Amino acid sequence: MSNRILVFYGSYRSDRVGIRLAEYVVDQLRRRGDDAELIDAKAINLPILDRMYKEYPKGQAPAALEQLAGKIKSADGFIFVTGEYNWGVQPGLKNLTDHFLEEWFWRPAAIVSYSAGRLAGARAATAWHGTLSEMGMVVTSSTIAVGPIGQTLSADGQPTGEGGKALEQSFPRFADDLMWWVEAGKAQRQRKAPPY
């Protein structure tokens, strides 16, 4: 049985280069036999957080919020592909995640970061680690950091240069780590209901 993995991407910029990395991650997961889906914050375009999903009366949440809540609840694990903005996280991706809370609980998450520079989004990855943990996810120790993003994946999403080689070499271990936790989470949820 394949694992259901949601890959979240959050840039709202008009010339998005990081989308190549998000699509690469989805493609690589599918090649491994997983059921991977890209969740693009810009395409979903949730409003700036006013009410969380859980704060709407049952059946009255906006359709986009209701649909995404269902996808999150049915997923086995998550990957967050994040750029770094001024040493911080992308506001579009943060806004999307903040609409939910309990929907994330008891599943693992992994972080893929990128930037135009040589630090490859490491500071954003560090910030996301604490945020995702607070939201009830187990965050894997394996991460992928890509930078400079424009020299790592071509316009058609193919790995290129030394950065592309490093990405191809690091992805299998990254995915293996996440899937170990996915399988552990599935087994535990079948054995025992979460405590809350």
The tens-digit pLDDT sequence of the chain (196 residues) is: 699 999 999 999 999 999 999 999 999 999 999 999 999 999 999 999 999 999 999 999 999 999 999 999 999 999 999 999 888 999 999 999 999 999 999 999 999 999 998 889 999 999 999 999 999 999 999 999 999 999 999 999 999 999 999 999 999 999 999 999 999 999 999 999 988 8
Domain 4-191 CATH superfamily: Flavodoxin domain (3.40.50.360)
Please tell me the predicted confidence (pLDDT) of residue 195: 87
| Residue 116, burial from CB neighbour count under 10 angstroms (0-12, 13-18, 19+) | middle
Instruction: State how far the Cα of 125 lies from the Cα of 113, in Å rounded to an integer.
Output: 6
* Confidence at residue 1, expressed as pLDDT on a 0 to 100 scale: 65
Question: How, if at all, do strands 108-114 and 144-146 pair?
Answer: parallel
- Nearest Cα to Cα of residue 45 among 7, 108, 112, 93: 93
Contact by Cβ (8 Å): 195, 152: no
Q: How remote is the C-alpha of 149 from its chain's centroid?
A: 17
d(CA 125, CA 150): 19
Residue 123 is predicted with a pLDDT of: 95
How many Å apart are CA 138 and CA 178, to the nearest integer?
10
